[in-house]
Structure 1
Amino acid sequence: MMKYCAAKIERLSKTVGVRTEFDQITTVALTLQRIFGQQVLDPEWTWRKHLIHQLSNLVLFVYVFFGTLECLKTTDDSDLAAEASYTLIMIALFPIKMLLFIENRYIFRKLYITAKTTLVEVIKADATANLINAFKTAQKIVNTLFLLVLVPISIYEITTLWYYLHGIRPLLSRSTVTLMPMTTPYYELAWILHSIFLFEVSTTIILDMWFVMLIFFLSVASDSLVKVLIVPRKADNESHVDYAKRLNESLRNFYKIHVKQVE
């Protein structure tokens, strides 16, 4: 069973190139994006293949949009109106951000393969660098970003569940009405739809995570690359020719690695 689950997750989080330890860091993020049909780092991703996901997302966002508009029409509470306005802004920004991500998927794939191959190789070439520590730090970055998303969502969900178990049926989000009766099974259906919307909108932080990851590994690789230029001073018994050869070799290695890094 464990092997089946591991194989399933590996398929869902498939990326360009051979799977490495780098991919393990992003497995959860990639799997979440795959569930919502946005895992474009998969070289097999196409609009046609994930059309059902995109249509489902469109229907969900239209539903939440009209539910939020209804809230704005029927409330005199300024705080609630502000919250509803924020929801409308998120509804507008999310598709734009995702479309930019999807339309530039080939660039993202190239950046991803560069990070997990070229940049990692540069770090490995540095004898003083600890690649395992770099991976651990990257994992902490990913975990922190996810906590920033999961904690607020969990508070919403747990609070709603608490009231539900005590016979009260509150809205998951006060700023979005259900547009359905507050009776079973309509209330539960609306709850599920609003939860999916909340999780999906929150996954936009994954897009920011790619930039954070890339910048982190680029910084570590750059630090390792600079160390290539550190050449021990000329020894007393070393000729000027031998010292010049060492300097030349250092510059040659720096140039060779730097060219790969900026390709």
Structure 2
Amino acid sequence: MKILSMFVYYILVLAIFCNCKTAHRIATTGEAVEHVTTFWKSASNIDTPYLSITQKAWYQDSIGITQICGINFVTIDNVQSVNIATIGYRFIDLKKKWAYEYSSLSDTALIERKYRYADITNFTGGWNFVNRISHPVDSFRLLPDTTIGAITYKQANASLLLNKTRYKGIFLFRCDIKKTDFHINTVVSNQMGCPLVFLRIYPEQNPHARSDEEIKLISNYFPDSIVKVFAAWKKNQIRFPVE
């Protein structure tokens, strides 16, 4: 009888442990990405990147958080330098259409600004979770797949018109990922059935003036520090609703 009681106790403890572990994994499920934008220029007939901006973003259950970077151009003695720094973070509730801005990515950070946004809102800085403009592509041709860093991408040549200027470009799609809330161009991604994660475009008349846009899919699980931020900022929107 004593052995049976110990066995039942062991089963109960194991069940509680498994339930707690499963709940923890569910709580940390989401998407963490880096959004990288790079601008190129030609120097001595060599194309080199002169400006690269990396902004992180996280998404979970209709809630988005994005890093916001500011760019300062400084000229000293006719020499120009660029300073890129984090100026804050934006918390967005996509269902309520509420936005909150914080100075740091911390569960103890204080709200600096809160407001309601519309579907047509264009946010300045950071990943735009709403109203992402998908420029129409009028020419699209598939190329052979390419492998970069052990990841196989679908590849295509494309042509599009932006502000009356004809651009050409290279598109890379990750078809090993079927569902993500991060797309460079939602329309093209939907047509391909795979998210567009890299785009390089350049003016047809000036191929050296190219720019890159890339989404690096970092993880589908959040570290404890990000879990705490989501939990704290969700509580903040309950305590301090947008009027």
Could you say which TM-score interval applies, normalised by the shorter chain?
A: under 0.3
Name the one with the larger strand percent: 2
TM-score, L = length of structure 1: 0.22
TM-score, L = length of structure 2: 0.23
Larger of the two Rg values belongs to structure: 1
Q: Does 1 or 2 have the higher relative contact order (CA < 8 Å, sep 6+)?
A: 1
